[in-house]
Copies of this chain bind each other. A is one copy, B any other.
Amino acid sequence: MLFHFRDKFPQLNPYWDKYLEFQQRLEVPAKTILLYEGKISQNYIFVEKGCVRAFFNNNGDDKTIQFFFENEGLFSVDSFVNNIPSVFSIETIEPSVIYLLPREYVTQLMAELSAEPDFLQIVLKMFTQRQTHYINEFVSFIRDTPEQRYNNLLVERPHIVLRVPQHYIASYLGVSAVHLSRIKSKLAKGKLHF
């Protein structure tokens, strides 16, 4: 359970900026784990450069839930808010520049934000957006074939296809890497008829 913050609600940026100095800057290679499945989330994670994914282990092979790129922030809401073990891990996909804001500062920031007059409205909108996102994700599994989901990804979020290794995308789409390769070659053949 993740969500983004920064720049989605620009009027909150000044609050955010106040805490820049408390962030820890990390420069890390690919495949660096930022949060371990089973551990309690202790930081809000902001991606300045590179990209990360949220995933969980399922009998050996891992399943990707979501991707995050430049200027996106995330945390395991469930773990962070309720102080319970995270059900997924977070790791970098590319060499990345990451900022971590520790729990105590996030709490403090939240308290300050509550003062903002229309913070309730913003929170509602923020969660409504996130909720719509996750509902669309799962409706897509009910409605679409893997091929259609891959196509949607190509059309709606091509940067994911361009930057992320194929087996992560496959696990995100809910198919095997082999099958995703088949889907791609089938689509490529389709495009030859014109």
Binding site for B on A (CB under 8 A): 1, 3, 56, 58, 63-65, 77-78, 81-82, 114, 119-120, 123-124, 127-128, 130-132, 134-135, 137-139, 141-143, 171-172, 174
Residue numbers in B under 8 Å from A81 (CB-CB): 124, 128
Main secondary structure of the interface of A (DSSP, over half): helix
In the complex, the answer to whether A139 meets B78 with C-beta atoms within 8 Å is no
Give bound CA distance, A132 to B3, whole Å.
Answer: 12
Residue numbers in B under 8 Å from A174 (CB-CB): 141-142
Query: In the complex, what's the smallest C-beta–C-beta distance from A65 to chain B, in angstroms?
Result: 6
Other A-B contacts than A63-B139, A130-B131, 17 sampled, CB-CB below 8 A, are: A1-B128, A1-B132, A1-B135, A3-B131, A56-B143, A63-B142, A63-B143, A64-B142, A77-B128, A81-B128, A120-B120, A123-B124, A123-B127, A127-B131, A137-B138, A141-B174, A142-B171
Residue of B nearest to A55 (CB): B142
